[in-house]
Structure 1
Amino acid sequence: MNQPTNELPNMQIDTTLTSTLDSEAAQRALDYYLKPAISEEVAEPRFFDVNRNISCEEALVHASDLLRCAAAIANESANHLQGVTRDLAFSTVHMIDMAKAMVDRSLEGYANG
């Protein structure tokens, strides 16, 4: 068995490479991460958007209802499946139930606060 050594191979470094900041890809990446987001007035309209006039509590109530419906659909689908697919469907039900519990807990804060 060979013992590891601390000797580095004699490697030559190519210093003729140009700066990556000059490339178009680098500029796009910098623009994406560093430029401020475009305001919503200029952004393209969305296919689905939330009414800006509803309160946080109303939004949470609606989200809770949507999660309840999603859990019912996933649960019903899981009852008609077998094997790994069934396990994945029940995992989905479990995650939806956890998300619904978090939303419902947030709503308790509105009721108590």
Structure 2
Amino acid sequence: MIKPTPNPPLADDVSPYEFPDSKKLNDAADRALDHYLKPLNLKSPAPRKPSTMFFVSPDMKDEDLLAHACESLASASVMTSDFAGYLEGPHRHTAMAIQQIVMLAELAVNRMLDNVEVPKALPRS
């Protein structure tokens, strides 16, 4: 048995602006979606102003900075190793792992320090 069904009405172009306030609502929805979905960095970020509590002078030589970093890492390695002596079990393993990472960083800084060319002294006249 064939059941007659009415044909659906022809689809008219549906506009989101059927009602007088619908354009305002659509604009508000677009602004809200843009606010949450568009990337935030469309504008250039504000320039970063570093804290001046701890300040490294910009005229410091690379060799001096590397030497200081090497000494700081050596101190951190010794302190972590000493601290690990007071711990047991997994906490000791964690402290020793931290000490090893610091030691590897110290080796990298030492290698960089070895690669820094020391400026030759000017000949005395």
Q: Which TM bucket (shorter chain)?
A: 0.5 to 0.7
Where does 1:72-87 land on structure 2 (aligned, <5 Å)? Answer: 72-87=78-93
TM-score (norm 2): 0.60
User: Partners of 1:105 and 1:75 in 2: how far apart?
Assistant: 22
In the alignment, does 2:71 pair up with 1:58?
no
User: Where does structure 2 lack aligned partners over 5 or more consecutive residues?
Assistant: 1-25, 120-125
User: Partners of 1:44 and 1:108 in 2: how far apart?
Assistant: 30
Task: List per-residue Cα deviations over 1:10-31 (Å, max 9, x = no partner).
Answer: xxxxxx9x557522x446x522
Larger radius of gyration: 2
TM-score (norm 1): 0.66
Q: Which residue of 2 aligns with 1:30?
A: 40
Q: Which residue of 1 aligns with 2:20?
A: none
Q: Which residue of 2 aligns with 1:89?
A: 95
Distance verdict in 2 for CA 1:37–1:59, change over 3 Å? farther
**4+ residue runs over 6 A deviation:** none
Structure with greater proportional helix content: 1
